[in-house]
Amino acid sequence: MTPIVDPSKARGLILGIESSCDETAAAVVAHGHETLSSVVASQFATHAPYGGVVPELASREHLRNIVPVVRGALLRAGVGLQHLDAIAVTEGPGLAGALLVGITYAKTLAWALQKPLIAVNHLEGHIHAVLLEHASRPQAALPAIALVVSGGHTHLYLAHTSPRGGWHYSVVGRTVDDAAGEAFDKVAKLLGLGYPGGPWIDALAAHGDPGAVPFRFAEVRPRIGHQRPSAAPIASPELLFSFSGIKTAVLRYVENHHMAASIAERAAALAQLPSPSAHQARELCDQPTLDLIASFQRAVVDNLITRTLLAAERYGAQTVLVSGGVAANRELRQRFQQKAGPLRIPVLFPSLSLSTDNAAMIAAAAWPRLQSGQLATQTLVAQPRLQLGLAADATIE
Ligand code: KG4
Ligand code: ZN
């Protein structure tokens, strides 16, 4: 049975739960923008020895963490379960077993407390991580172009509020192969650095010459047969991303410059350190390696910025919202502001802790749904391949 909520009586306290990948998170957010608590239990240490997320281990860690993480979020917010107006949970996309832990817990809590249950798309959550901290901005700043750039996604959405309540998204660009975060992770692994790779590349790139290796992105012209049947078709190729080529280019550079031995040495030395610092990693990199890292990062960052600003101009966006784990990247933040300045388009990022996976963004995205009565039922199941929005030319409301 789904409990009936009267939004006018709701005090707006939502418990958000997120378990789509390798972070177990819970948060309490009031009225969609006031974060009372946000607790994240990261599984980096569990997955680091494998150089990537191991799905079975992720599910097991979520099972271990979910109860203390939710309790911690309630405790820090100073609220009891009875004070909550709704429970929100990530329904997808993500790892099936990982999602299932959060969903089962949220459903049980909602049923036992007879509170509304709200299903949230993880990607919409990332967009609301930015809105959460810029809630005072007037609605006139819409439509927005939202770049969601993480380990699993690199998508451009045209976002605006829907006349029927809530938000509406159209996909205007996306990657045809790897996500940008995946490229960071794979290149870091290739160079003998730790997992996840983004923060390592970010820290080390500052010590290299970004112009040393001229990586180039060719215009992406995917053949229809190369597109996943489930993926929304995109009208313009200039708004498509492709990151598998640069990963191969780095691999070729490493081979041509005989870097294999020094990479193996670095990987072995880092493996000996219990929790290596960026400074220690830098000591283990020679200048050509630092230059390679800086050049790789510059190429990816500039590619993300160019396509996003092109989309913003094309769709008359009033704001650019950048979110997802890669939004934590310092060079991306700096260069976005530099390049968007002359166009007079504000570029908004979440704070660093809300860039990577968290549950405050899930609770924030759930608020408009609670207000417009878009509730989930006890039949809610994990949607590992859930998408957000339809192709731009297919969705005008
Ligand atoms: O959003 P997120 O926490 O999880 C997913 O939904 O994927 O994003 C994780 C991704 C990883 O690929 C990680 O390497 C990347 O975000 N990342 C970064 C930085 N911090 C995390 N990439 C570049 N620079 C960073 N500072
Ligand atoms: Zn994410």
Q: What is the DSSP string of 376-387?
A: B-TT----TT--
Packed helices 197-205 and 287-314: angle between N→C axes, nearest 10 degrees: 110
Assess whether pLDDT exceeds 50 at residue 264: yes
Which of the ligands is closest to the CA of residue 122?
2
Name the pLDDT band for 396 (thresholds 50, 70, 90).
very low
- In the numeric block, the tokens 């704001």 are attached to 319
- Number of other residues whose CB lies within 10 A of the CB of residue 227: 15
Assess whether pLDDT exceeds 90 at residue 234: no
pLDDT digits (tens, 9 = 90+) for 236-252: 889 999 999 999 999 99
Q: Give the pLDDT mean for 56-81.
A: 96
pLDDT > 70: percent of the chain: 90
> 235 CB contacts (<8 Å, ≥6 apart)?
391, 392, 393
Assess whether pLDDT exceeds 50 at residue 397: no
Centre of ligand 2 from the C-alpha of residue 148, in Å: 9
The kind and range of the H/E element at 35 are: strand 34-42
Which of ligand 1's atoms lies nearest the C-alpha of 94? 6
Centre of ligand 2 from the C-alpha of residue 149, in Å: 8
Name the pLDDT band for 232 (thresholds 50, 70, 90).
low
At 4 the pLDDT is 45
Most informative mutation of 326, 353, 386 for ligand 1 (most atoms within 8 A of CB)? 326
Nearest CA, atom 13, ligand 1: 198
- In the numeric block, the tokens 């010590």 are attached to 207
Most informative mutation of 99, 184, 201 for ligand 1 (most atoms within 8 A of CB)? 184
C-alpha 257/C-alpha 277 separation (Å) is 26
Nearest CA, atom 2, ligand 1: 325
Q: Are 213 and 148 in contact (CB under 8 A)?
A: no
C-alpha 293, offset from chain centre: 22
Least confident of 65-74, 130-139, 175-184, 293-302: 130-139
Q: Are 318 and 329 in contact (CB under 8 A)?
A: no
What is the pTM (predicted TM-score) of this model?
0.91
pLDDT digits (tens, 9 = 90+) for 91-142: 999 999 999 999 999 999 999 999 999 999 999 999 999 999 886 555 448 8
Q: What is the DSSP string of 142-166?
A: -SEEEEEESSS-EEEEEEEE-TTSS
Question: Would you say how long the chain is, in residues?
Answer: 397
- In the numeric block, the tokens 């003998």 are attached to 192
pLDDT digits (tens, 9 = 90+) for 143-202: 999 999 999 999 999 999 887 778 899 999 999 999 999 999 999 999 999 889 999 999
At 140 the pLDDT is 44
Assess whether pLDDT exceeds 50 at residue 393: no
Name the pLDDT band for 224 (thresholds 50, 70, 90).
very low
Assess whether pLDDT exceeds 70 at residue 258: yes
Q: Give the pLDDT mean for 213-233.
A: 62
Centre of ligand 1 from the C-alpha of residue 372, in Å: 32
Centre of ligand 1 from the C-alpha of residue 163, in Å: 33
- Ligand 1 is surrounded, with C-beta below 6 A, by 21, 150-152, 181, 184-185, 196-199, 202, 324-326, 328-329, 356-357
C-alpha 221/C-alpha 200 separation (Å) is 31
Closest CA to 302 of 355, 244, 256, 243: 243
Name the pLDDT band for 348 (thresholds 50, 70, 90).
very high
Which tops the pLDDT comparison, 271 or 379?
Answer: 379
C-alpha 374/C-alpha 229 separation (Å) is 28
Nearest CA, atom 3, ligand 1: 356
At 275 the pLDDT is 87
DSSP, res 123:
H
Closest CA to 319 of 124, 141, 132, 125: 141
C-alpha 188/C-alpha 181 separation (Å) is 11
Centre of ligand 1 from the C-alpha of residue 90, in Å: 18
SS3 126: helix
C-alpha 106/C-alpha 108 separation (Å) is 5
Burial 162-184 (b: 16+ CB within 10 A, else e): eeeebbbbbbbbbbbbbbbbbbb
Q: State phi, psi for 111 to the nearest 5 degrees.
A: -70, -45
Sign (positive or negative) of CA dihedral 307, 308, 309, 311: positive
Q: What is the DSSP string of 306-354?
A: HHHHHHHHHTT-SEEEEESGGGG-HHHHHHHHHHHGGGT--EE---HHH
Q: State phi, psi for 207 to the nearest 5 degrees.
A: -100, 5
Assess whether pLDDT exceeds 50 at residue 229: no
